[in-house]
Every structure is written in structure tokens, then in C-alpha cells.
Amino acid sequence: MFVVGLTGGIGCGKSAVSNRLAEKNVPIIDADIVAREVVAPGESALQQIAKRFGDEVLLQDGSLNRPKLRDIVFADAKQRTWLEQLLHPIIRERILEKLDALTSPYAVLASPLLLETDQHLLVNHVVVVDAPESCQIERTAQRDNTSEDKVRAIIAAQMKREERLERADTIFDNSGDQTELDTRVARLHQALQQLAQAEHDHD
């Protein structure tokens, strides 16, 4: 299975690209969704989180109180490290299980933390969706109804754009409009199919 890692900073339009690839019947494994699945009620990770932080990180229905947990780990680097060490291996394992179940020529692992975690080791090819910072700010502020300053703070906390681009096998420029996006995704899909085929022939 040829696995393509898809990542990008906030507001670069990673989801727009993965949604269009999904329309072309490319299986998309979204690391954010997997990250939510592994802390669902009944999962051992949730039990370990509740044991460490107490019931205040649980909602009435027994599910995880995300904002509460985010506040705790954002304020305390030690707690954040503990949480990452618990969750990252479990998320990775779950992603591998999902990939193993697929039979398509190639699949996409969409993950905002692809390059920050060892998830990049699960992929054959890294696609970084890129857009100018002004675009990122405008899109995110509109989408999340949040202030420019807050978006700038999130961008500052993420991996630097230059570093992300350096680690890309393919840079996907998403600074244009919808029509350009559709054309570029079609080209990307074609290129990835060829890469997957070449890898398959090579094996």
C-alpha cells in the first residue's frame, strides 16, 4: 500500500484537499478522527486519562471534556508530555490497523501533526498543503470565528512553515480559488497514482 501523508498549517486548506481526494474514491484516514476514537468512552486511554486528571476531565455522559483537558496540558508541559506519550503510540497503532485493512492503490493519512510525531514514518510520500500566512489567518478567522491574534498565536505554536516545506516531497500550493483547487487536486491525484504504480512495479 502506497501511503501519502497530507499535512499543512492551520487554515492552509488540508481538509479541502483531502475532501476532494475522497470524492475520487481515495481512502482518507484522518488522524484527528482517530485521535478522537481512541479516547471515546470504553477505550482504555480514556480510563487512564480520567485516572490521572480526575473526573473533572469527563463530561456528564462519560465522554472526554476536551477543552478542560486542553487547558490542563496547555498550562503544564509535563502533563502534555505524559498525554502525548500515552496517546501517540495508541493513535499510531490504530492508524496502522486502518491502513492494513485497505486494498486501494494508494491511501491518504491526513494529519496536522504528521511531521511533529512519528506518524511521518508510516507514509511513503509527504504532501504539504501550503498557503501564505495572510490566507491562513483570513480563512481560520472566518471559519472558527476567532480573532487574528489568536490565529497568529496558533501559527506561531505550530511547526515553522519553512521547516514543513523543507520536509515535503510535494508542496501543494493552495493560495488560489476553488477552480484552481479542483484543477490542482486532479493533477495531484494523477501524480500520486503514478507514484503508487511505480512503487507497486518496483516491488
* 139 — pLDDT class (breaks 50, 70, 90): very high
Assigned architecture for domain 1-27+105-196 = 3-Layer(aba) Sandwich (3.40)
Contact at 8 Å (CB) between 139 and 15?
no
**pLDDT in the model for residue 81:** 94
Nearest to 8 by CA among 170, 198, 183, 186: 170
Tens of pLDDT, residues 142-188: 998 989 999 998 898 899 999 999 999 999 999 999 899 999 999 99
Q: Is the pLDDT of residue 203 over 80?
A: no
**pLDDT in the model for residue 108:** 98
**pLDDT in the model for residue 127:** 98
Tens of pLDDT, residues 2-30: 999 999 999 999 999 999 999 999 999 99
Rounded to whole angstroms, the Cα distance separating 27 from 136 reads: 26
**pLDDT in the model for residue 185:** 98
The residues spanned by each domain of the chain are 1-27+105-196, 34-101
Tens of pLDDT, residues 76-130: 989 999 999 999 999 999 999 999 999 999 999 999 999 998 999 999 999 999 9
Rounded alpha-carbon distances, angstroms, from residue 119 to 58, 59, 96: 28, 29, 10
The sign of the torsion formed by the CA atoms of 23, 111, 65, 157 equals negative
Residue range 45-70: mean pLDDT, rounded: 96
CB atoms under 10 Å from CB of 72, counted, come to 19
